[in-house]
Every structure is written in C-alpha cells, then in structure tokens.
Chains A and B, each alone.
Chain A
Amino acid sequence: MHHAVLSHFLLTGAVLFVLGLIGFLSRRNLIVMFLCTEMMFQGVVVTLGAFSRFHANDTGQTFVIFVLTIAAAEAALALGLVVLLFRRRGTLDVQAWGRLRG
C-alpha cells in the first residue's frame, strides 16, 4: 500500500454506507438507528470527496456541503421527533409500538 488510490476511498465510503445500512436494519433503538442513517450519509460524503479529487473538479465538494446541510436538517428533525415520542411513550424501543398494525 504505497499510495492511496481511488478504490481505497471508495471502499471506505462503501463500508461506512453498508455498515450504516446493516445497523439501520438490525438495531431497534431510535437514536442508534438515526446514527446509522448519519453513517450512511457520511459514507456518501467520503465517496463524493474521493470522486471530486479523482475527476479534479469541485462539483463533488459542492455536493458535500449540501449533503451536510440536509444531514443537519434531518438531525434537527430526528431530535424533535424523538423527544416528542419519548415524552409520550417513555421508551425509544421500536418494538414497543404496535398500535399501527392491522
């Protein structure tokens, strides 16, 4: 491993993305699930940054800034929803809800 090539960065991004996806599908705590979606976003950001360097244009980095903004907006929304739900339910375990079945 003398120098980093594109595939290293892509692999890092893909690993982050896939770990986030696996975590999202397997965890049952809302906060952890949200962290997993953030991890998926970070995987995307790493990939975008790598492609931006590879193509030697700035578009990818511009994209990264907007992705971070949306991620922050989603984080604020998630925090609000989680607080709302916790105050009503007293738990953040997804399996504790079953009202909407049928």
Chain B
Amino acid sequence: MPSIPAADPFSHYAPIGVLLLMAAAFGLGNLLLTSIIGPSRHGKIKGMVYESGMNPIGSAKRRFNVRFYIVAMSFLVFDVEIVFLYPWAITFPSLAPDSELAPWFLGRMLFFVLTTLIAYAYAWRKGVFRYD
C-alpha cells in the first residue's frame, strides 16, 4: 500500500489555517451580507414551506408511527453488517482455488451471516416488521 509521506514542517499548517479562516469568513460574510443588503419581506405566502410549490397538507410536526423508527434502527444495524462482507469479498478470490484455507474463510463468513440471520429472526419474532 502506498503510504502518506510524513513531511511535516510548520509551513504545512499555514495553508490549512488560511483555509479555515477563509471558510469561516465566507460563511459569516454571507450571513452578514444577506442581512444587510438583502430585501426583507414577510407575509403568509412568503412563510409557507414551499413558497412556489404545492400547498402543505397538515402539520409537519405530525407524529410518525413508532414502527418507523424501529425499522430505521434495524436497517441501520443490518446495513453496517454489509461492511464486513467487503474486505472478505476482496480477499477471498485471491486465495488459491485448492488452498486449504478456503473452507475456513468461507466457514467464518457463513458463521457471521448466521449470527446476522439469528438477529433477523429475533427481530421478526419480536414484531419489528409488523405494521398494525
């Protein structure tokens, strides 16, 4: 793997400082400029959620069904499990076809998938995927 050089004279920090200053100045400057030179109008139409779009129906503060959050949570957890598959998928083909390590490699990943399946079965039985 190519590595990052460690060259580390103080001068290298200066551009970053300038960059940070510029970023901060840009953000603050825009806020300041709009409040000084921008026209300011208020009104019912102006205050709508989509000024030139469709009229909103109901309140945006409507409560979502709590099931929504539970599904979001399970998605989040199962989604991350995928990350573990990538390094495995990249290393597995590089093994020789007749390598004696291959069954171990496959077995481990199958075990990992099995644990995920157990978690899935638990979530299912717990009623996470029911909408009623």
CB contacts under 8 Å to A, within B46-94, are: 66, 69, 72-74, 76-77, 79-80, 83-84, 87
B6-14, B28-36, B95-103 - interface stretch: B6-14
Q: Which of B1, B7, B16, B79 contacts A58 (CB 8 A)?
A: B1
Q: A5-B12, A7-B13, A69-B83 are in contact. Are A79 and B73 (CB under 8 A)?
A: yes
**Closest B residue by C-beta to A51:** B4
> CB-CB < 8 A to B84: which residues of A?
65, 69
Which label, helix, strand, loop or mixed, suits the secondary structure of the B interface?
A: helix
Q: List the A side residues contacting B12 at CB < 8 Å.
A: 1, 5, 7-8
Asked whether any CB of chain A lies closer than 8 Å to the CB of B40, the reply is no
Instruction: Determine the distance from Cα of A58 to Cα of B8 in the docked complex, in whole angstroms.
Output: 23
Task: Determine if B73 and A54 form an interchain contact, defined as CB atoms under 8 angstroms apart.
Answer: no
- Does residue A50 face the partner (Cβ distance < 8 Å to B)? yes
Please give the number of chain B residues whose Cβ is less than 8 angstroms from any Cβ of chain A in the complex.
25
Q: How far is the CB of B6 from chain A (nearest CB, A)?
A: 5
Chain B residue nearest to A75 (CB atoms) is B76
- Given contacts A76-B73, A83-B66, are A56 and B3 in contact (CB under 8 A)? yes
Would B80 and A68 count as touching, CB distance under 8 A? yes
- Pair A6/B5 contact, Cβ less than 8 Å: yes
- Output the least CB separation between B9 and chain A (Å): 9
Q: Is the CB of B76 within 8 A of A76?
A: yes
**Cα A41 to Cα B22 with chains together (Å):** 25
Residues of B within 8 A of A76 (CB): 73-74, 76-77
Asked if A5 and B73 sit within 8 Å, CB to CB, the answer is: no
Q: Complex Cα distance A73/B74, Å?
A: 10
Residues of A within 8 A of B (CB): 1, 3-9, 11, 15, 50, 53-58, 62, 65, 68-69, 72-73, 75-76, 79-80, 83, 87
B residues with CB within 8 A of A: 1-8, 12-13, 15-16, 20, 66, 69, 72-74, 76-77, 79-80, 83-84, 87
